[in-house]
């Protein structure tokens, strides 16, 4: 009898304990189902603490409460707490029932920049759910995150402290054509709703306005005026038509024990400062569905975010069109896989050029929601190829609601750590500093195989003025900053550059430089050359003894040497070149003259017939032995150029003959130096339309 009593009491205690545990679980699940995450987090933690790990059923329930507590923290942007509770769920093997615990835990670790741990959990999730693209996207994010940070764009990011408060401030948009009124959502003191929103653990949000003063500073915000605009519910993310006559905004009601989704409302302007009572757009099939984050330009084509059935993942971007005759909005259509992913797509806005800006956590990025830019396709309402806008606009926390004021400046919302040290939504500005340009000119002597030209005067003229400089020993001159700190080369400007030096032909054409349309930093390096008034020294061309046949063997590739002439002519289409061939002084004068003319014509024929140079641009001249070469003697060596210094020495016959007996090798070498082909500028004004015909005799050889 006593045993039966004990067993009965034991069963009663167990039943009572089980009932108590189930009561906590029921309350937690009810709050969680209504998305009252603020309350549900504590209820799930309480239920978790009441449950034991003994037995598979109890462990499963305990793991479920840990997972839901983590989910509550994830939805209320408390990532470290979420990570802690996901870890607990994993220790209780909740991944066997819900593999998403790995995915969401990895998402939190990515936000915390623990890339290796995040990648491990993404890989674990991928092994359990191989078809989910979010795993691959997460793995790629862990790898590319360092790349995004390394390739940080030169934006200046600034917290708008004159607008932001310690509470939520988010989703700015301009409410007038002059871009002097900023509308945004905020949960700051003074809002209509007085309670705490159980979804966000923050006060309810209202729509606020800040205006620019005459100094360009944002003034203290005030509530948007109009009957029925701000209520005790959440009012947030909004947009306007291009005339700023219609305002579309998001409202999210919260009624006890009801699972209600958000809606889009529209209001028309009333006077200059107020709005009429709004009406709700009929876009959804059930009250539990959420629609919000409206985006429009003309008030007739509306993009929005929703979790309605038929999407690709969490919340997708959808669109609808307005029919004026029926005064109704068409059945929403999904924007398709080009935009939407398995994750969430939210906060759409239009860029100035019509591109679509939106945030997603379903593509590789830096963590959480990243802002992407999709390119508009023609005049259609279609967008493609979304690209991450990169760091520093995007960071490891949520970034969204980007608007452009101009091509360089705009605003967005970010949950990065603010001035108060907390990760809450604040409004930030971004500004791209002026592009930085520098200019380096390298002056070259075109008669010395493009050798550096020292002492050339470089003149740059542009809309900001004219300045000059002298090239240094290496031929270069460099400009970046002026003494006052401003720059020589500036944005959206065009410049003309000229080069000049005594003893050289004028460069009448010069160079043009423009930064118009150049949307990135650039170090300009430009080569400028001048043709000397002295003979142009060409690479060595050798001929068979007493002939005009080129030598092309291991000792000298004469045709390769003529490629230098070809290059000069193709790079300088205004040039007409006189090719002068010389012989040494040995042999009869008349035969040397004919030999030199035939050698000049051999060069001419090669460049015209084999390389396609316009024959009117070359004049072959035979100089015979009448123009001995000037060389430069330094330390017993003869140089063809004066760049190494040395004593000028003309290789006349009597000078060379002085070595006939004393130094036969030098005697022969000096004669060889006289046998040459060089060039001279005949004209720098070649015009193919007006130039006279070439002399046909240049294509035939003289009798030798």
Alpha-carbon distance of 660 to 295, in angstroms, equals 94
For 322-346, the three-class secondary structure string (H helix, E strand, C coil) is: EECCCCEECCCEECCCCCCCCCCEE
If one counts every other C-beta atom within 10 angstroms of the C-beta of residue 179, the result is 12
Residue 16: per-residue pLDDT: 45
Residue 6: per-residue pLDDT: 43
How do beta strands 333-334 and 345-350 pair?
unpaired
Residue 611: per-residue pLDDT: 95
**To which residue do tokens 């605003």 refer?**
411
| Residue 93: C-alpha distances to residues 387, 421, 537 (Å) | 37, 35, 83
Alpha-carbon distance of 70 to 83, in angstroms, equals 7
Note the helical H segments in 154-232.
none
**To which residue do tokens 């390769």 refer?**
560
Q: Quickly list DSSP for 682-702.
A: EES---TTTPPPPPGGGGSPP
Residue 34: per-residue pLDDT: 86
SS3 293: strand
What is the side-by-side strand order in the sheet with 206-211? 169-174, 181-186, 206-211, 222-223
Apex 439 CA angle, 433 and 442, nearest 5: 165
Pair of tokens at residue 71: 């989910």
- Among candidates 257, 258, 259, 309, which has minimal Cα distance to 283? 309
**To which residue do tokens 């002059």 refer?**
178
- Among candidates 684, 443, 446, 450, which has minimal Cα distance to 573? 684
Cβ atoms 281, 264 nearer than 8 A: yes
- Counted residue by residue, the chain has a size of 704
Alpha-carbon distance of 204 to 182, in angstroms, equals 20
Residue 21: per-residue pLDDT: 60
Cβ atoms 36, 202 nearer than 8 A: no
378-407 pLDDT per residue, tens: 888 999 999 999 999 999 999 999 999 998
Backbone φ and ψ of 454, nearest 5°: -85, 145
Cβ atoms 376, 353 nearer than 8 A: yes
**Burial group, residue 257, by CB count within 10 angstroms (0-12, 13-18, 19+):** exposed
Residue 551: per-residue pLDDT: 85
Residue 349: per-residue pLDDT: 98
In angstroms, the first-to-last Cα distance of the chain is 144
User: How many alpha carbons lie under 13 Å from residue 597 in its C-beta half-sphere?
Assistant: 14
**Domains in the chain and their CATH numbers?**
2-150 (1.25.40.10), 156-431 (2.120.10.10), 437-530 (2.60.40.10), 552-699 (3.30.1330.60)
Alpha-carbon distance of 62 to 18, in angstroms, equals 13
Backbone φ and ψ of 588, nearest 5°: -75, 145
Alpha-carbon distance of 531 to 681, in angstroms, equals 7
Q: How far is CA 673 from the centre of its chain?
A: 56
Can you list the residues of the chain whose pLDDT is less than 50?
A: 1, 4-17, 19
- How much is the pTM? 0.68
Alpha-carbon distance of 377 to 26, in angstroms, equals 51
User: How many alpha carbons lie under 13 Å from residue 147 in its C-beta half-sphere?
Assistant: 8
- DSSP-derived secondary structure letter, 607: I
- Among candidates 687, 581, 594, which has minimal Cα distance to 627? 581
Element (H, E) at 470: strand 465-470
SS3 76: coil
Residue 42 makes CB contacts below 8 A (sequence gap 6+) with: none
Pair of tokens at residue 617: 């641009």
Residue 9: per-residue pLDDT: 42
Alpha-carbon distance of 470 to 500, in angstroms, equals 10
Q: Find residue 44's DSSP bridge partners.
A: none
């Amino acid at each position: 009898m006593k045993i039966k009593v004990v067993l009965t009491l034991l069963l009663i205690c167990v039943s009572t304990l089980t009932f108590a545990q189930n009561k906590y679980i029921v309350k937690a699940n009810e709050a969680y189902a209504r998305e009252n995450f603020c309350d549900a987090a504590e209820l799930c933690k309480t239920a978790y603490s009441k449950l034991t790990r003994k037995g598979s059923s109890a462990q499963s329930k305990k793991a479920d409460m840990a997972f839901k507590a983590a989910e509550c923290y994830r939805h209320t942007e408390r990532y470290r707490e979420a990570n802690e509770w996901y870890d607990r769920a994993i220790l209780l093997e909740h991944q066997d029932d819900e593999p998403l615990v790995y995915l969401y835990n990895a998402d939190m670790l990515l936000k915390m920049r623990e890339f290796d741990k995040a990648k491990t959990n993404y890989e674990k999730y991928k092994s359990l759910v191989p078809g989910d693209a979010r795993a691959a996207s997460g793995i790629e994010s862990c790898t590319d995150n360092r790349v995004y940070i390394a390739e940080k764009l030169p934006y200046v990011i600034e917290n708008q402290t004159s607008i932001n408060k310690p509470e939520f401030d988010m989703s700015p948009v301009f409410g007038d054509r002059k871009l002097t009124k900023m509308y945004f959502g905020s949960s700051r003191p003074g809002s209509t709703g007085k309670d705490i929103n159980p979804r966000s653990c923050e006060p309810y949000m209202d729509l606020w306005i800040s205006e620019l003063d005459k100094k360009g500073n944002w003034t203290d915000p005030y509530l948007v005026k109009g009957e029925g605009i701000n209520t005790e519910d959440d009012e947030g993310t909004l947009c306007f038509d291009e005339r700023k006559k219609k305002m579309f905004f998001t409202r999210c009601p919260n009624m006890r024990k009801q699972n209600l989704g958000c809606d889009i409302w529209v209001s028309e302007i009333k006077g200059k400062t107020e709005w009429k009572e709004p009406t709700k757009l009929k876009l959804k099939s059930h009250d539990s569905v959420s629609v919000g984050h409206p985006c429009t330009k003309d008030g007739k084509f509306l993009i929005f975010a929703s979790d309605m059935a038929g999407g690709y993942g969490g919340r997708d971007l959808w669109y609808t069109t307005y029919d004026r005759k029926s005064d109704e909005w068409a059945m929403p259509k999904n924007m398709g896989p080009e935009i939407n992913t398995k994750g969430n797509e939210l906060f759409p806005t239009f860029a100035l050029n019509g591109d679509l800006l939106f945030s997603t956590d379903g593509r590789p990025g830096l963590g959480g929601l990243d802002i992407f830019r999709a390119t508009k396709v023609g005049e259609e309402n279609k967008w493609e190829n979304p690209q991450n806008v990169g760091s520093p606009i995007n960071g490891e926390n949520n970034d969204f609601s980007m608007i452009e004021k101009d091509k360089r400046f705009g605003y967005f919302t970010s949950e990065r750590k603010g001035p108060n040290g907390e990760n809450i939504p604040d409004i930030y500005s971004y500004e791209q500093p002026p592009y930085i340009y520098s200019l380096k000119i390298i002056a070259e002597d075109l008669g010395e195989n493009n050798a550096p030209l020292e002492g050339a005067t470089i003149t740059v003229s542009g809309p900001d003025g004219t300045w000059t400089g002298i090239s240094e020993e290496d031929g270069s001159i460099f400009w970046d900053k002026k003494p006052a700190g401003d720059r020589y080369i500036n944005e959206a400007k065009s410049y003309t550059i000229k080069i000049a030096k005594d003893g050289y032909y004028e460069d009448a054409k010069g160079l043009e430089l423009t930064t118009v349309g150049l949307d990135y930093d650039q170090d300009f390096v430009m080569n400028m050359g001048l043709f000397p008034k002295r003979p142009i020294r060409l690479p060595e061309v050798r001929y068979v003894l007493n002939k005009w046949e080129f030598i092309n063997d291991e000792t000298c590739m004469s045709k390769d040497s003529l490629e230098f002439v070809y290059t000069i002519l193709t790079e300088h289409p205004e040039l007409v070149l006189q090719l002068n061939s010389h012989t040494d002084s040995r042999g009869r004068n008349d035969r040397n003259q004919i030999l030199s003319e035939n050698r000049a014509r051999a060069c001419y024929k090669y460049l015209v017939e084999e390389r396609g140079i316009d024959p009117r641009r070359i004049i072959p001249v035979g100089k015979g032995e009448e123009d001995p070469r000037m060389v430069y003697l330094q330390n017993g060596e003869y140089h063809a150029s004066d760049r190494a210094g040395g004593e000028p020495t003309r290789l006349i016959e009597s000078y060379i003959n002085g070595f006939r007996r004393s130094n036969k090798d030098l005697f022969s070498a000096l004669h060889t130096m006289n046998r040459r082909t060089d060039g001279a500028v005949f004209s720098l004004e070649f015009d193919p339309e007006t130039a006279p015909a070439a002399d046909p005799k240049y294509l035939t050889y003289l009798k030798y």
